[in-house]
Amino acid sequence: MNRIRTAIASILMLGAFILVPKASSSYGVEVNHLGFNNTLVRITGEGRYVLLPIQESNDDARIAILADGKTDRTINVKLAKSKVDYFVPLDLAPYKGHNVLLNIVTTQDRSNIREAEDDACWKNIILDDTFDTSNREKFRPVFHHTPLYGWMNDPNGMFYKDGVWHLYYQWNPYGSKWQNMAWGHSSSKDLLTWEHHPVAIEANGLGTVFSGSSVVDVKNTAGFGENAVVALYTSADVSQIQSLAHSTDDGQRFEIYPANPVITLDSEARDPNMFWDADNNCWVLSLAHAIDHEMLFFTSPDLKDWTLQSSFGKGSGAQGGVWECPDLFKLKVDGTDEEKWVLVCNINPGGPFGGSATQYFIGDFDGKTFRADTDVSGNIPTKWMDYGKDHYATVSWSDSPDNRRTLIGWMSNWQYAAEVPTIQYRSANTLPREAGLFKAADGQIYMSSAPSPELIALRDRQVVKINNKSVGKKAREFSLPVTNDGVCEILLDIDCKKSVSVDIKISNKENECVTLIYNIPDHTLSFDRRESGIVDFSLDFPAVTVAPTFENDNKIALRIFIDKSSMEVFGNDGKFVMTNLVFPTEPYSTLSISAHGGSAKIRSLKVFSIKEL
């Protein structure tokens, strides 16, 4: 009994000890430990950002941001315990003139408050007017879009207006892994260089901000004003519901619609994608009914009231994973006046080489219902937009100029996106591409994705120029531009009538290489990255991907873009594409070409270095 009393007394004494708050201060902040796992940080100084110290390997701390005593939002951040790997900024601009307090709950194991005080984060947290975003990553691409810092997945909400391409993306500004989803924002006048803007839409009480789309409401159907930009996105919390927001400053800041949500369903549905249907004078929206493996179609006169019209997908195409990020648009079939509809359907996992990929269906849409074309045996064929491992969540810009259908995708794969060897930023987007349709030898219509015309402006010096040279078993070798870290564009036109296969090897002095093999009888091109450099961060990364070449004359024309940690191979004007990440420990410096089972003719080979952007 006595022992119990003594124990209770010492617990009470310990409690008294714990309850005495202990304050300390770094520049501009006052830190007050309330207990082992709970600390208040009050902003006492002037400064635009609180710089939060991060330790990658640590568990998340939950930070509630209070303005004048009211919780505005909550974020999860890996606050540093034993060492600081890097900082992330918490922007205080939206709270100017308000009293800001951070109520932080950490999950770190500690036995007393003194240990909590020792955490590296409290000693290093600081207020500052600037945050250094200069590049620290050797693998950061130079002509692909990347976030300045933080984790990125899907591009979404893209629209074109007054000469500017707006690109939003799924962004975690507070770390290098997926969480705290918000819409990051960048814009470009040339699709090559990107200006970075403050976060466009952030989480609110309905949830974090998942993917969606934006349109320019030219006719003011929603009542927010002519040419207001209207966005629809998924608010994700315990449920996934669809929310509206609008912007009257060309997409810089969005106001959240107070009557949200505008669509609710009783199972996971996300990534609303809308367009104006001029034939039927209404808005059309596609929504991924993720685990039901179908896309739902809604219509609306005003972007606020949506009526469910139909669904498509159950049992069609690839069904291996959840269906996400739809897009629906009409295109002309090359060389004809025939118009067909393309339904884009991103799927994860279940892609042809594991993990995420983009499938699409060709068919007809009457304003309410999508019907897919079938093959000769009456089945709906599975078609892939890209035959690499790193092409996902691809959708198109609304209101692109000149009737263009310009697409961009996330250049990674959910299998290993969080493990790739970068930290300051994680993930880039693919190069922008122009969608088209063509009829192949099997009588089917397929989608092509050719590099956007703007990419021509990347070319700097032509460092290799070869015409009409034959090649056999002995490889012909060419140097790639090592200045500018080997970043380049390769154009290779080969006639392979007399050979069985052609090997195209891109390698560096460390013997790291990517091997492309054009298999003539099979009409395929394979991309082997098993020895491409750093591959051991995930068992799913080393891989060989294979694309059909859609040719029947044994000729192949490749356009290959190498940008530090990616290789995109466009074949025969975009009839097939392969997008794959690579992490060479030093830039690739040699291109070698050899032919097997006979000789091949290099009709033309051009290598361009890339301009400083």
Dihedral angle of Cα 581, 586, 589, 590, to the nearest 10 degrees: -70
At 12 the three-state DSSP class reads helix
Contact 172, 150 (CB under 8 A): yes
CA distances from 573 to 295, 361, 451 (A): 30, 20, 8
What minimum distance in Å lies between the beta carbon of 306 and ligand FRU? 18
What minimum distance in Å lies between the beta carbon of 432 and ligand FRU? 19
Write out the two tokens for 468: 């009409």
d(CA 515, CA 67): 56
Backbone angles phi, psi at 49, to 5 degrees: -125, 145
Single-letter residue type at 55: Q
Residue 533 zone, left/alpha/beta (φ > 0; ψ -120 to 50; rest): left
Identified catalytic residue from 154, 217, 271, 563? 154
Cβ contacts of 134 within 8 Å, gap of 6 or more: none
For residue 597, the 8-state DSSP code is S
Q: Is 69 exposed, middle or buried (0-12, 13-18, 19+ CB in 10 A)?
A: exposed
**Which residues on adjacent β-strands are paired with residue 166?**
159, 187
Q: Is 535 exposed, middle or buried (0-12, 13-18, 19+ CB in 10 A)?
A: middle
What minimum distance in Å lies between the beta carbon of 154 and ligand FRU? 5
Told to judge if 366 belongs to the known catalytic residues of this protein, a careful annotator would answer: no
What minimum distance in Å lies between the beta carbon of 178 and ligand FRU? 6
For residue 612, the 8-state DSSP code is -
What minimum distance in Å lies between the beta carbon of 401 and ligand FRU? 27
Nearer to ligand FRU, 60 or 271 (CB): 271
What minimum distance in Å lies between the beta carbon of 12 and ligand FRU? 47
For residue 423, the 8-state DSSP code is -
At 10 the three-state DSSP class reads helix
What minimum distance in Å lies between the beta carbon of 272 and ligand FRU? 10
Single-letter residue type at 383: K
DSSP notation for 352-396: TTSS-EEEEEEEEE-SS-EEE---TTS----EES--SSS-EEEEE
The number of beta carbons lying within 10 Å of the beta carbon of residue 195 is 10
Write out the two tokens for 48: 């635009």
Binding residues for ligand FRU (CB under 6 A): 153-154, 170, 181, 210-211, 234, 270-271, 324-325, 393
What minimum distance in Å lies between the beta carbon of 146 and ligand FRU? 17
Nearer to ligand FRU, 166 or 270 (CB): 270
Write out the two tokens for 100: 């800001």
Of 425, 427, 433, 387, the closest CA to residue 411 belongs to 427
Q: Is 22 exposed, middle or buried (0-12, 13-18, 19+ CB in 10 A)?
A: middle
Backbone angles phi, psi at 61, to 5 degrees: -100, 150
For residue 3, the 8-state DSSP code is H
Contact 65, 102 (CB under 8 A): yes
Nearer to ligand FRU, 210 or 298 (CB): 210
What minimum distance in Å lies between the beta carbon of 237 and ligand FRU? 13
What minimum distance in Å lies between the beta carbon of 407 and ligand FRU? 15
The residue nearest ligand FRU at its CB is 210
Please report, in angstroms and rounded to a whole number, the separation of the first and last CA atoms in the chain. 77
Burial of 252-285, coded b for 16+ CB within 10 Å and e otherwise, reads: ebbebbeebbbbebeebbbbbbbbbbeeeebbbb
Nearer to ligand FRU, 391 or 559 (CB): 391
Cβ contacts of 9 within 8 Å, gap of 6 or more: none
What minimum distance in Å lies between the beta carbon of 388 and ligand FRU? 16
d(CA 582, CA 485): 14
What is the separation of C-alpha 186 from the centre of its chain, rounded to a whole number of angstroms?
Answer: 13
Residue positions annotated with a catalytic role: 154
